[in-house]
Structure 1
């Protein structure tokens, strides 16, 4: 396992006007697994561009409906559980190294459309940020606690206009 590299990834914490965070329920599991939008960074792509692209691919939210509030100056890493190594991502990665971004959602709920070209979520909702670690799959719980701690000071920030 330790010989495998980490998959470079970008993640998005999307907060609405009420201070709630977007989560989607994954299509590829029967678990009650909810997560924030995230995905791989393509070769030659920077993390912010990947985050905006992944947000659109997974939620249908257009770039004009979000505004960047914060981005921690560090990466967050997690390892897959041993039983998943070799089964996900074609066995190429041992986990992910993620760069996270906090965006304010400037649109309305009808601007969210998870029925995208390659859907990843079966349902979505806005939740209290404190509920994030409880809703994520257990092997990502510590990662979500770390991301939440890093972004919490910015959750009440106003979009710059």
Structure 2
């Protein structure tokens, strides 16, 4: 196995979906199939995210990933993070994740305002049932609590995302 610092980052998008009152959507990750690791309820929450397909525009990827994970399509774009944010996987996860091809992810983040009714959010049959569910539960959360809900190795990225989008959390901001 090569040294993980020799591996590239996986191109990815992250989505901050904001409610009308300025809270962010977070989903509690489901345990991966075959995993015996219990999910820690204190750090198993995250915002939607996913890989960018080859040749895919990051904004298109963000809309696709949001839909695939939540069924949500009633959104308006309100901001794009100014930079790409990267995190490294812990060494033991590099071998297990993505067949050891990536050292971590570099993410382009987008903020969307949710314009639909909450009945549109369906984490049990994301993308109409075409994909396995990522989340077992979801809720709206204040931005200041987001970094404390994510696994520790992703926390610096969440701190940067919150700083980039904090001004959008006020109800009606970004319209």
Shorter-chain TM-score tier: over 0.9
| 1:137 counterpart residue number | 151
For residues 71-82 of structure 1, what are the structure 2 equivalents within 5 Å?
A: 71-82=80-91
Q: Does the residue aligned with 1:126 lie in a helix, a strand or coil?
A: strand
For residues 38-117 of structure 1, what are the structure 2 equivalents within 5 Å?
A: 38-62=49-73, 65-115=74-124, 116=126, 117=129
Query: d(CA) in 1 for partners of 2:173 and 2:148?
Result: 27
Whether the 8 Å CA contact 2:168–2:174 is kept in 1: the answer is: no
The root-mean-square deviation of aligned C-alpha atoms, in Å, is 1.2
Q: Does the residue aligned with 1:72 lie in a helix, a strand or coil?
A: strand
For residues 118-137 of structure 1, what are the structure 2 equivalents within 5 Å?
A: 118-137=132-151
The answer to whether the aligner puts 1:25 opposite 2:34 as a matched pair is no
| 1:7 counterpart residue number | 10
Whether the 8 Å CA contact 2:79–2:174 is kept in 1: the answer is: no
Whether the 8 Å CA contact 2:10–2:51 is kept in 1: the answer is: yes
Query: d(CA) in 2 for partners of 1:52 and 1:45?
Result: 11
Q: Does the residue aligned with 2:153 lie in a helix, a strand or coil?
A: helix
Unaligned ranges ≥5, structure 1: none
| 1:146 counterpart residue number | 160
How far did residue 73 of structure 1 move? 2.2
Q: Give the structure with the larger helix fraction.
A: 2
